[in-house]
Every structure is written in C-alpha cells, then in structure tokens.
Structure 1
Amino acid sequence: MMQAPLVLTSFFKRAESYFARKSIISRTSPHKIHRLTYGQWAKRTRRLADALTKLGMTRGTKVGSFAWNQHRHLEAYFAVPCSGAILHMVNIRLSEEHLIYIINHAEDEILMVDVDLLPIIENIAPKLETVKHYIIMTDEPALPKTTLQNVLSYEDILATADEEFQFPEDIDEEAPAGMCYTSATTGNPKGVVYSHRGLVLHSIMLSMSDSMGIAERDVVMPIVPMFHANAWGLPFASVNVGATQVLPGPQFTSALIMDLIEQEKVTLTAGVPTIWIGALQEQEKKERDISSLRAICCGGSASPTRLIRTFEEKYGIPYIVVYGMTETTPIVALSNYMSWMEDWPIEKRIEARAMQGMTMAGIESSIINEAGEVPWDGETMGELRLKGPWISNEYYRDERTADAYRDGWLYTGDIAVRTADGFIKITDRTKDLIKSGGEWISSVDLENALMTHDAVLEAAVIAMPHAKWQERPLACVVLKEGQSVTEPELLAFLENQFAKWWVPDAVVFLEEIPKTSVGKFLKAKLRDNVAEIYPKSLV
C-alpha cells in the first residue's frame, strides 16, 4: 500500500478542488452575516498561512485563537496546521487566571482575537510571557484603540498576502495540529494535543452513516464552540465532504439559533443540553419551520428524556446523544438507534437515546471495577476507559498524565454501566457519585428524572455529608418561569421511580445552577453554594 500521510491538508485541497461553489455562512456580529464560497475561503486561508509565516510562524509554532464560531476562525483551523504549526483554540470562557496559565503554558507566540473579546485579552496581556503578535479579527476597516502592543488587523495582513501560498508536502501525520485545554473544575486546565492523523480519522468517522453521517448535502451548524474540543470535529468533517457550514458567531440567543435553522435550512446541528432546553422554549413561544433538521446532536451532560421525546415525537427530529471528552478529540460514542430497536415501545427507545450509546468503530471501550470487566447487564457500575487512534495518550507537559493514562488506556473518570445492547450509560463522575450506607447512588439518574417534571427547568443532585449514612443526595432545582412545585411534591414524584434510599433527603430551589465554561453543571461550586444551608450534614 502507498504510504500516504493522513494530514488535514488533504481535506483543504479536496474542498478547494471539488466544493469551491459551496457556501459558508458566517455571523460575525449581531448585524453582520458574511456569505462566502469554499473557493473564497480557500484563497483567504492560503493568504492567512502566508501572512502568519511572514510573522515568524514555523513548524511547531503555537498560534492561539480567541474567537467565536465564524469564518476567520475556520480559516485558522486550516491555515495553521496545514503550515506545520499548531492551532491552540483558547477557551474564551475560562477565568483570567486560567487564561493566563494556558496561554503561557502552551507558549503561544501569535494570538488571533475577535474584536469584541479584546477587553479580556487587554486585561491579561501584561502577564502573557510568550505572545509576540496580536491579530484583531474585525469587520471594521480601522482597528479599535487598544492597550496591546504589536497589534495587526486580520484583514490588513490578508490584503497583502499571497493567495497562492503553498503548504508543505512533508508534514508527518503524527505531527501536532491543534491543542485544547480542559475546562478544569479544580486545579489548572490540562492541555491535550491533537495530531493530524487523529483529526483526519475522527472526521472520517463523523461521516459514517452510523455516526453523524455528515455529507456534502448537509447544512451543518456547530453551536458547540470552535474553542472547545474542535467543535466536536464538525468544521474539519464538513470541509472534507464539502457540507455547507453555518457559523452562528458571538453572543447568540435561542431565538437566533431557531431563526438560523429556519432561514438557512440547517440539517445537522450540535450543542449542549442547555442550548436545546432554551431552543425548545423559544420554539414553543414562536414556532419556526425546523423541518429541515435531520438530527440534533447533544453532549456535554445528560439530556432530560422529556427534551429528547419532545423533539422526536412532536417535531420528528432525531435527538442523538453523543459522548466524548477534550482528551478524545472528542467523539467516541453516539446513541443512534440500532435496527433491532425499531419495534421497541417509544419509552424504551427514548431511554436508549438518552444513553451515551455505542462506541464508534475504531474505538475500544472497557468498563471495569475492582472485580474486573463489568457484565453487560445495565446495572453493574465501573469506570469507563478508552483507547483508539483519536484518543490522546498524555497531557501536554503535565505530571497529571499518570493519573489518567495507564496501561495504554485513558481512564475517563466517568462511572458507567453497559446494557445488553452494548450501549454505554454514564451514571456519574467518580468524584460525584453518592455513596450512602455503602451503596452507590447515581446523581445523573436522579437529575434526569427530576427534569422530566413539568415544572423543572434544570436539576443537579449532589452528595452532602450525613452522620449515619456517610452521604445523602441533595436535589438542587431551577423551576421554569411561571411554574411552581413544592419539595414534598418533587420527592413524591421521585418515590414512584426509585428505591426509597435513593430519594434525596431535601430539595433546594435556586435561581440558577453554576456551570462550567462549556455548560456542564459545576457541582464543586454548587456544593460550596449550598454549604451555608447545610453546613455540616443533612441531619
């Protein structure tokens, strides 16, 4: 066989050659939408590579992007790695402390910044040790006033660059192409480096029919941020197949999401559950034609079964739960229905859909506990571990590598069961499992049940100390606007679904549940917040 390297340059050249007429719709501000073809995008991407090279970008240079989902970010997605450099997609929602840490730790030399995010970078710039150039991405002809030094305009540097710039032909497929940092709940974020080979194989997997099935005829709108875990790989896969891309840009709302789906005839979209909870509320306020959607992909945290069922039954839109991590590029499992599930009752089908699904071809998964590999009984819990060609094998320059990577496996820290059908169901994080009287209680199962109640918008269940039972579950609930329900009513609602010892001892009603930068419940912060109410124990 020919030794053809698996590199992102092949995706770029394919889109440039075959899909030059296809569209990229990019929203860069509340009042500005750019419409460009892949042909135009390709020329701009070559110009960007030339401009960055003239600024000193060479093989292995770290180039940071601090940006929303928009066309300039997509240009960087290819211009940087196809030149042999490394794109560091900086999570714009991290704290200033963590932003300083990851930019310095990655040793970013060039930082591309969306203009509306400029104040954040100005605040931390004095503490950034390696950045030599700042490139401002803006639609305006003139740069805004700024305290930054060595500032350039993105459009200005493209204007004088060469659109015939040639990417190197000798990039090794194992060479680093991109990097992201985890959104840490404790300690500093951990860096994960993605190789060309891993990104290419991951993208091909996303085009498989039993995966997301991304194809040329699709109109793909990644709501999941391009600054987190490669936007779940959607930009790379879409370029490879020539799918139309809709990039929603900054500060989007539920109304904007639904408008874009209707106006651009989006066929596939992806985001975390909070996105789809808000989108469904917006749809019920003002109905749009969303019949173009062939699938909604959702991950990051558990999806309420009521949410899944509403999209599938009322709107006829498959709601596919996906599972992955920053460390896994990220997608490793999806909850697509198998052929033998077609005749199942709707309740059983939705229950399967709410799981993390079956491990994708190319990935090996194992769930183990102290007794070894757990049986496929849907009940026995263990820690999920993974291996495969797009699973990372270490954290970037971080001693915590040894905690997660052992014996050729990535130990995810997720507690899971596996059903007889081979579906993975995450029951908790190792740090969030509730151990009461020596028995494990799944906070995820309780949260999912609570969020099926008509009055409940969001619910998180945490462990609180207990003098007798070691720990007991406490339910933290946010109600829907205009709805009301009492603590006894919610507890009675759960008693019909779970063993008595699983039912939380109390319910706390909150205005909001703290979340991480990517929309996951921040349970460590939540425990701190409710500690004033239950400072020592539930008894």
Structure 2
Amino acid sequence: MTGEFMPHHMMPFPLNTSDILKNAALRYPEVEVVSALPDGSRHRYTYLDAYRRSAKVANALTRQGVQPGERIATLAVNHYRHFELYYGISGMGAVVHTLNARLFAEQLQYIINHAEDTLIFVDPELLPLLEAIAGQMPTVRQIVVLCDAQELPDSDVFELTDYESLIDQEPADFEWPRLESSAPCGLCYTSGTTGNPKGVMYEQGSTVLHAMMSGGSQYLGFDEWSVAMPIVPMYHVVAWGVPFSAPLFGAKLVLPGCALTGENIQSLIEDEKVTQAFAVPTIWLTLHNYLQSSQKQIPSLKMVGVGGAASPKALVKTYAEHYGVYWMGIWGMTETSPLATAAIQTPQMETMAPEDRYELQASAGRPMFGVEIEIFDGKDRPLPHDGVTRGNLRVRGPWILASYFKGEGADKFVDGWFETGDVAVINPQGYLRVVDRSKDVIKSGGEWISSVELENAALHYEAVNEACVIGAAHEKWDERPIMLITLREGADYDENQLREVLLSKVAKWWLPDAVIVVDELPHTGTGKLRKVDVRDQYRNYLIEA
C-alpha cells in the first residue's frame, strides 16, 4: 500500500573492492601481475598470489588496530606491493590515501595532516620526502617501507618497519567485511594549482561501478586476452582505475615502476606482449622518439588510452600510420573517479576518411553509460551540441564527486552538476572536445583564444617536439598568446615555416606574438605541462621585451 514500507525485492548486497580481487583469484588464478623493479629486474606472480598477500595486509592492519574509515597513506609508484595495499587497505574497511610522489615537502605535509593519515607505506627511494617533514605529521604513528628486512634503509628521524616483516607471519586469508556501498575506500587530492589541494573521497560502491563500466567494451575493453599496462602513476587517481578494472575482467596487469623512459616502456610492451596501455600524451611522445631513434617496434600494442591533457592530432596520426596503434582519447579528472568519456573505436570510424577519424580519436569521446555531460554559458543556460559553441563543462553520474572531503569547494557544485573548470564543445553525435581549462584560455581584445588548439597546431610542424602556449600581458589587447617550444633532436627549424603551419590550422589573429625556443618545459608528476610555472616566468614577456 502507498506509504507503507516496501521490502527489498533483491538482496541488499553491496559490492566491495575486496570482491574484485577475490573474484580474480577464483576465476583467473594463473593470470600474472608483472612489476618492473628499480634494479631492472621484474617481479611476477599471479592474482591468486596477490589475493593472499592482500589478505596478509588486511590482517596486519587489523592487528595494528586500524579502524574503518581510517586513512592509510601510500607514497609509492606502480608495483605489486602497492597493488596489494590497494586491496588490503580498502578491503578491510580503511581508506587508501595515495600521496603524489612529485609534490613539494610543504604540499605533502599539508595533505597528510589534512587527511589525518595514521600509517604511511613508502618506497625506499621516496623515504627522503617524508624525512624532510619528520616531526610535522602529528597523526602519523608508523612508517612502513615497501621492502624486505635486508633492504630496509637507515633513518635518523624515523623508527622504520619493513613491509615484508609486517605481513610475513599473517594468515593468507581474511574475513572481508561486507561494507556499505557508501563506505569510503580511497582518497586522492587534486593538484591544488589555485589554492590548497582538496580531497576526493571514493566509495566502495562507486569504485566497483567505475571498474565494471570502465573496463568493459564502452571504454577500455578488457578481457582475458588483454595485457594492460597503466603507465599513469598509481598515486594519481588510482592509475585511472586500471588496478581495479583489469583484474575484474581477467586482464594480465603490467606495472612499469618509475623508470618511464622510451627504452623501458618499449621493452615492457615487447617482452610482456602489452595490448593496451594508458598514459598522458608526453609519454607517447617519449616512446615515439625512442622508437624512431632505435628502430625498435611495439608489435603487440593495439590501443593506447590517452588523457590528462589534450590529444595532439599529429600524434594520433603517427601512432596509426607508423605503428598500427589505435589512439583513444579519453577524459576524466580526480573528481570523476576518474574516467568519464572515451573515443572508443567504432564500426562507423572504419568508413571515415583518415583525417576525420583522427579528429574523432583526438577528441575526448562520448560518455560511457552512467555519465552525463553538458555545457553551459555564464548564466547557467545549457548550450547547443553543434560542435562549435563553447561552454563551461559540467558532469554528473554515480562515480562523480558530490562533495569534497571535509566539505570544501562547495562552489563547484551547481544544481546537481559538478563544475569541471573545462571549456568544451560537444558535437551532434555527443563527442566531447575540451578546448582549454578555463584558467588557460587567453582573452585577447575581448575574444577567446584556445591555448590547447594552438599547441596542437604547432605539433604539425615536424621540428617541434612539444609546445606550450600562455597568455602574456599586453598593453592594448589585455593578453596575447606567446608560444614556447622544444625541438626534436637534429631537426631543422625555421620560425617562418612554423608560422605557415600555424596559419593553416588557426585564425591569423590567433598567431602568437612571440615564439621562444627553450631546452625543456616544466611538467607535473603525471606529465602535464606546468603552465602555472611558465606563466609566472613569462607573464610580462611582451611588456618587458
């Protein structure tokens, strides 16, 4: 009857992260997890091995008195011990807080204290980052180094425990609790480029849903024939969720450690027969440069998922025509768990002219099931999906942030949508193209110039290795674009030729007022250009010239 309590017609059975690895141990017990180690060797074991060691982690934390919801930090790169911590910590009810290894000491200190971390698991090579802030982390009661007893480093400021001794005597099985879907399981902080970083708390249910959808055919396309390599760090938005989605679908998992050179990436792809790999564009540029100089190949690789920055169409074409690799542009952010849209390969693409297909691949693609996107004008009015009109991108869905940790950043949530800070267009077929971050768009004489489109245009000139465009102060036009470039080794460079290429891709009034050749450009720990650093250095370049 209306108004009366209605019983469940299906079992109230929330899915947890522990279910993913437990299922992998049952269904795919012999599938490998391979890790590249700092000494150049590789560690390999199976999902069954990983499950048993994750159970040991959960037992050790329980013995340590860790409580549900307690934040346990990791400061580590992509390897098997970090993988075990993902499951051991979140499965027993605590929260995996992945610390970014590329942060400054002051940023690490702020994040650790804001999260109120109690234990930190750290790679030996990264221990000095914590030693620099020793005595300034009042909630941290133990530092565990991810090594065995023989490898445990000396420390003048910490009493250290080695990981292997911590878990060695623990049982290899654990009575995993059945946690509510809303129970927290992971914590990742935003980059904090405009103020202090904010925490994004992932939940058990949202994480499993994200793994189920992102690993399926609408996105990463994993199955038991897949060999997946997340090059994006496990400390950055849980490596785009691949450590959860790969085992769920039975894909072999290759973890590349920290030596992300072209040589090491090529070797892993060739030796382990990697079929799908995931990284920001600069990684794929690095690999391409190495392949060109070494004449080596990547025969097994079928697809690269590319996010974190706009996909340069020139690189999309290069990977298709040189290596036979499908470049899949993707979009997401810390606040979206992170994957939200993807330019997956479709039958319709096979009938398109190559240049049109590359254009779609370089886009951010279409939302997968469960995610909705929309663009709005400055008065909160939705804008047409005509592929031309630009607006502020908003997103919503079951694994999209509803509020930041400790209630910060309330201004980012508008009428049930999350305000991403991106400026984007959506075409009639639903393909998203992010044209810039709102803070990176250049406003010249009241008109907008996309720094991303100018950067991508520059890459069509073969001498340019990488480009960064910022707005510099201008007495008449308020801002004008200037372009910083790095050059390919041994390339013949002529600025007039570069400008001709740019003019074939963008409007004449978009052309940069200055082109500056530099030896290198600054990057974040995940390979994105650090435009804030470039702006700080070159903001008044045109006025002072």
Bucket of the pairwise TM-score, normalised by the shorter protein: over 0.9
**1:189 aligns to 2:190 (yes or no):** no
1:102 and 2:108 equivalent? no
1:292 partner letter: S
CA distance in 1, matches of 2:302, 2:497: 37
Is the 2:503–2:511 Cα contact (8 Å) retained in structure 1? yes
Q: What secondary structure, in the 3-state scheme, does the structure 2 residue paired with 1:322 have?
A: strand
Q: Does 1:263 align with 2:271?
A: yes
Partner of residue 143, structure 1: 152
Answer whether contact 1:259 1:288 (CA < 8 A) is retained: no
1: distance between equivalents of 2:503 and 2:293? 32
1:537 to 1:364, Cα distance in 2 relative to 1, 3 A: farther
Is contact 1:181–1:189 with CA below 8 Å preserved after alignment? yes
The secondary structure found in structure 2 opposite 1:477 is strand
| Contact 2:473/2:541, CA 8 A, preserved across alignment | no
Partner secondary structure for residue 15 of structure 1: helix
User: Are 1:252 and 2:260 matched, yes or no?
Assistant: yes
Instruction: State whether structure 2 residue 293 is matched by structure 1 residue 279.
Output: no
Per the alignment, do residues 65 and 215 of structure 1 end up closer, same or farther by CA in structure 2, a change over 3 Å counting?
same
Report if the CA contact (8 A) 1:11-1:240 is conserved. yes
**What residue in structure 1 maps to residue 328 of structure 2?**
320
1:132 touches 1:150 (CA, 8 Å); kept in 2?
A: no
Q: Give the distance between the partners of 1:311 and 1:390, measured in 2 at CA.
A: 31
Q: 1:89 is matched with which residue?
A: 98
TM-score (norm 1): 0.96
Select 2:173's aligned residue among 164, 178, 199. 164
Q: 451, 454, 474: which one pairs with 2:459?
A: 451
SS in 2 for 1:427: strand
* Residue in 2 that maps onto 1:51: 60
| Residue of structure 2 in register with 1:39 after alignment | 48
Query: Where in structure 2 are the equivalents of 1:192-203 lying within 5 Å?
Result: 192-203=200-211
CA deviation vs aligned residue, 1:230-273 (integer Å, no higher than 9, x gap): 10000001121221111111233210000000000011110111
Letter in 1 for 2:471: A
The offset of 1:496, in angstroms, is 2.2
Which 10-residue stretch deviates more, 308-317 or 100-109? 308-317
Name the structure 2 match of 1:307: 315
Deviations 1:48-71 (A, max 9, x none): 111111112111111000001000
Tell me which amino acid in the other structure corresponds to 1:194: Y
Match of 1:381 in 2: 390
Report the CA distance between 1:537 and its aligned residue. 6.8
The answer on whether the counterparts of 2:229 and 2:255 sit within 8 Å (CA) in structure 1 is yes
- Separation in 2, partners of 1:144, 1:210: 45
Equivalent position of 1:133 in the other structure = 142
Matched residue of 1:373: which SS?
Answer: coil
1:214-229 map, 5 Å: 214-229=222-237
2:89 aligned with 1:80, yes or no? Answer: yes
What is residue 114 of structure 1 aligned with on the other side? 123
Question: Is this contact kept in 2: 1:384–1:413, CA < 8 A?
Answer: yes
Structure 1's 366 and 479: CA in aligned 2 closer, same or farther, altered over 3 A?
same
Pairing partner for 1:475 from 464, 467, 483: 483
TM-fit CA distance, 1:39: 1.3
After TM superposition, give the deviation of residue 484 of structure 1 in Å.
Answer: 3.5
Asked if the contact 1:190/1:398 (under 8 Å) is kept, the reply is no
Over aligned residues, Cα RMSD in angstroms? 1.5
**Which residue is 1:176 aligned to?**
184
Residue identity in the other structure for 1:138: C
Deviations 1:457-500 (A, max 9, x none): 11011111222222211111111112242333322221222221
The secondary structure found in structure 2 opposite 1:527 is helix
**Map of 1:460 onto structure 2:** 468
Instruction: Work out whether residues 456 and 477 of structure 1, in 8 Å CA contact, stay in contact via their aligned partners in 2.
Output: yes
Note if contact 2:35-2:43 (Cα within 8 Å) is conserved in structure 1. yes
Q: 2-side partners of 1:475 and 1:149: how far apart?
A: 46
Counterpart secondary structure, 1:88: strand
Deviates more, 1:72-81 or 1:371-380: 371-380
2: CA distance between counterparts of 1:415 and 1:398? 25
Q: Does the 8 Å contact 2:149/2:162 carry over to 1?
A: no
Q: Is the 8 Å Cα contact of residues 222 and 270 (structure 1) preserved in structure 2?
A: yes
Aligned match of 2:351:
343
Q: CA–CA distance in 2 between the matches of 1:217 and 1:343?
A: 27
**Residues 262 and 288, structure 1, Cα contact 8 Å, conserved in 2:** no
Cα deviation, residue 77, structure 1? 0.5
Aligned mates of 1:117, 1:477 — CA distance in 2:
31
Return the alpha-carbon distance in structure 2 between the equivalents of residues 314 and 59 of structure 1: 50
Deviations 1:268-300 (A, max 9, x none): 110111100000111112233422112111111
Instruction: Give the aligned residue type for 2:443.
Output: K
Q: 1:490 aligns with which of 498, 501, 513?
A: 498
Q: Which of residues 2, 17, 20 in structure 2 aligns to 1:11?
A: 20
Q: How much has 1:532 moved relative to structure 2?
A: 6.1
Q: C-alpha separation between the residues in 1 aligned to 2:524 and 2:287?
A: 20
Percent of residue pairs identical: 41
C-alpha distance in 2, partners of 1:153/1:348? 54
Checking the alignment, whether the CA contact within 8 Å between 1:365 and 1:385 is kept in structure 2 is yes
SS in 2 for 1:124: coil
Report the secondary structure of 1:461's partner residue. strand
**For 2:439, which of 428, 431, 435 is the aligned residue?**
431
**Structure 1 residues 454 and 289: CA distance shift in structure 2, 3 A:** closer
Q: CA deviation at 1:403?
A: 2.2
Consecutive unaligned residues in structure 2, runs of 5 or more: 1-9
How far residue 398 of structure 1 moved from its aligned partner, in angstroms, is 4.9
Q: Distance in 1 between matches of 2:158 and 2:176?
A: 29
Q: Deviations over 1:190-231 (max 9, x none)?
A: 110000111111101122212111112211111000000010
- 1:29 CA drift (Å): 1.6
Residues 1:418 and 2:426 aligned together: yes
C-alpha distance in 2 between matches for 1:500 and 1:537: 24
Return the match for 2:449 from 422, 441, 452. 441
> Partners in 2 of 1:142 and 1:497 — Cα distance?
54
Contact 1:45/1:76 (<8 A) preserved: yes
AA paired with 2:66? M
Task: Quote the Cα distance in structure 1 between the aligned partners of 2:249 and 2:220.
Answer: 13
Mapped pair 1:210 → 2:214: no
- Higher mean Cα deviation, 35-44 or 337-346? 337-346
- Alignment pair present for 1:330 and 2:368: no
**What is the SS of the residue equivalent to 2:436?**
strand
- Secondary structure at the residue paired with 1:385? strand
Letter in 1 for 2:451: S
Give yes or no for contact 1:476–1:508 (8 Å, CA) kept in 2.
yes
- 2:473 and 2:384 map into 1 onto residues whose CA distance is 31
Give the Å deviation of 1:422.
1.2
Contact persistence 1:223–1:271 (CA under 8 A): yes
- Does the 8 A contact of 2:52 with 2:173 survive in 1? yes
Residues 452/194 of structure 1: CA separation in 2 closer, same or farther (3 Å cut): same
- 1:99-150: CA deviation from partner (whole Å, max 9, x where unpaired): 0000111011010011111111111122112110111111562521112434
Name the amino acid aligned to 1:110. Answer: L
